[in-house]
Structure 1
Amino acid sequence: MSSLRNHHRHKRSSGSRDRRLAARIMKEFAAAMPAIITQIQSLNSNGSATSAAPNNYDFRNFLSTKPPSFHGEENVTALLQWFEEMENIFIHYECPDDKRTKFASSCFGDQAVIWWNALRNDQGSDLVVAMPWEELKEAMKKEFCPEHELKRLEAEFWDLKQIGGDNSTYSSRFRKPSRIVSHLVTPRPAEFRTTFVVSRSLSVMP
């Protein structure tokens, strides 16, 4: 009987110690919570700032690269060169996609400015400025590549021939006109076989 009473007293004492320990842990945890919350908020804030960093590229950054101008009176080759120089700036200085058309249009002069302003008046400034860079390039090709220049480039493209093993010269001559007459080198799936037949015109001379 005595041993049973001792067992109950020991059990009650052990339970009391457990409750005190649990209360102490809860108290310490509650005291530490504000610091934990502050640290989590700080980490989230730093993460958001890091992800938003590319959008900090502004017009001053763009102007500091001394971008080339385009006046709308240049030939097709000059237009291609302007595209390439602008794209080099966009890539090397990590210009965001949604700012490329807006920044590039600031380089327009003379006839190019007149065309750009007419486009904005016709379609709405917000819509035109938000145009993707690739769409702007296509619009500029249509506007500033005269029909006779396109036909000349098409004829030049089909007459291309590789002489001997001079691959680099052939590739360079192929690449420039193909960026304007891209419909001749980017076949639709249904035309895939036809393109291979027609491509025999790009023959290799012995």
Structure 2
Amino acid sequence: MADGDDDTVPRVTEQMRIVIAEEVGKAIENSLSNFIDKIQNTVLSVVEERIKKLEDNSNLAKEKSGGRKPCSYKEFMACKPPIYNGEVDPIVCQRWIGDIEGVFERTHCDENDYVAYGTGQLRGQAKDWWDNKKKEIGSEAAKAMTWEEFKTPFLKHHSPKAVINKIKEEFMQLRHKGESIGKITGMFMDKMKFCDDLITNEEQKVYYYHNMLSAEYREFITPSKYETLTEIVNAAREREIELKKSIERGERRAQDVNPSPTKKARTNETAKKSDTKGGTPSCKICGKNHKGECRFKDKPCPICRKTGHMAISCPEKMTVCYNCYRTGHKRSECRELVGKKEGQHSKGEASKAKARSFQLTATEAKV
């Protein structure tokens, strides 16, 4: 029995090994399958997360560009972006910045292309400056530069503080001296861009604009009536039209006061004809000879806006000088002409005073 028992022990052990191996194999197989499933799930979740992130970025880019793809350089150039030659002039420089940024917006240009596309429009001294700047910072840094990073050194070089301070002084001293309202308003707007520290609201804009206008405009424009700069500019334009009309009316009145001989003869003939027709008295409103009620009776005067008379007989009409085209005096009373005449008289008297006469006696003449 002992020997039999000894023989059965190894067989049982071998069988156990086989069973154990099978069980271990099954356990490893099950664990590997579970491990592989976990790895697959992890990889799939990471891939799905990456794809979703890419889609979100793509949708965000589409939203920024209005649902359109970023433009190419060819499409950008088709919009004819402005060229900058490198003028050291804050007005020209900042106007170019505003214009080129407007093209970026209209073409839905990608922000990463702003510097590359924008610097392609530099010419002359501006291109020399940019080439030198790229050497200074390196080509890689130039490619990675944002538009805001580009504008900082660009404006520092082409729009220096010394020139801006000069523009501020010119703005404070700007005065209307016969230019058209359109021209003087353009000068005012250009210089006002650099005076943000001086002008902070619309009320100050109205004040400075009114103070800049000439006397013939300020007398008829009250700044407290206007809330915005646009309103007082429109009022100045209306005043300019009225002044031009008053000058035209004044020239016509001057021709009527001193008519040509042929015109005198015609007026005399018409007067005689009116007398022969029945002696119709002249109308107090329009000044013409007619019967019945005057058709200008209810029409307001273009100068004072009152009825009962026309512009030619308006009591509020202005006297315009035909030398300096200002109101309040006639040409014969113009200070400029009076000053010139006085200067001419003084020169004539001085030349007369220099003349001398010398008398010689007979003995002095012989010597």
TM-score range, shorter chain: 0.5 to 0.7
Partners of 1:160 and 1:66 in 2: CA distance: 34
1:77 partnered with 2:91: yes
Q: Aligned match of 1:108 in 107, 119, 122?
A: 122
The equivalent of 1:90 in structure 2 is 104
Structure with the higher fraction of residues in helix conformation = 1
Unmatched segments (≥5 aa) in structure 2: 1-47, 212-217, 219-367
Q: CA deviation at 1:50?
A: 4.4
Shift of 1:160: 5.2
Residues 67 and 107, structure 1, Cα contact 8 Å, conserved in 2: yes
1:185 aligned residue (196, 201, 206) = 196
Do the aligned partners of residues 133 and 171 (structure 1) sit closer, same or farther apart at CA in structure 2, a change above 3 Å counting? Answer: farther
Give distance in 1, aligned partners of 2:56 and 2:164. Answer: 50
Partner of 2:82: 68
Letter in 2 for 1:119: K
Q: CA deviation at 1:91?
A: 1.9
2:163 maps to 1:149: yes
Task: Quickly say closer, same or farther: Cα 1:144–1:74, change in 2 above 3 A.
Answer: closer
Paired residues of 2:112 and 2:146 also in contact (CA < 8 A): yes
The answer on 1:131 being equivalent to 2:131 is no
Instruction: Give the TM-score normalised by structure 1.
Output: 0.53
Cα contact 2:84–2:126 (8 A) shared by 1:
yes
Using structure 2 for the length normalisation, give the TM-score: 0.33
RMSD: 4.2
Give, in angstroms, the shift of residue 107 of structure 1: 0.7
1:151 Cα deviation from its structure 2 partner: 3.5
**2:176 maps to 1:176:** no
Question: Separation in 2 of the partners of 1:65 and 1:131?
Answer: 24
Q: 1:56 aligns with which of 55, 70, 84?
A: 70
Identical pairs, percent: 20
- Any idea what SS the aligned residue of 2:191 has? helix
Q: Figure out how many residues of one structure are paired with residues of the other and give that number.
A: 153
Write the deviation string for residues 72-119 of structure 1: whole angstroms up to 9, x where unpaired: 146443323322221221222222333222210011112111111111
Q: Give yes or no for contact 1:161–1:203 (8 Å, CA) kept in 2.
A: no
Larger Rg: 2
The equivalent of 1:31 in structure 2 is: none
Question: What one-letter code is carried by the residue in structure 1 that aligns with 2:115?
Answer: T
Higher relative contact order (CA 8 A, sep 6+): 1
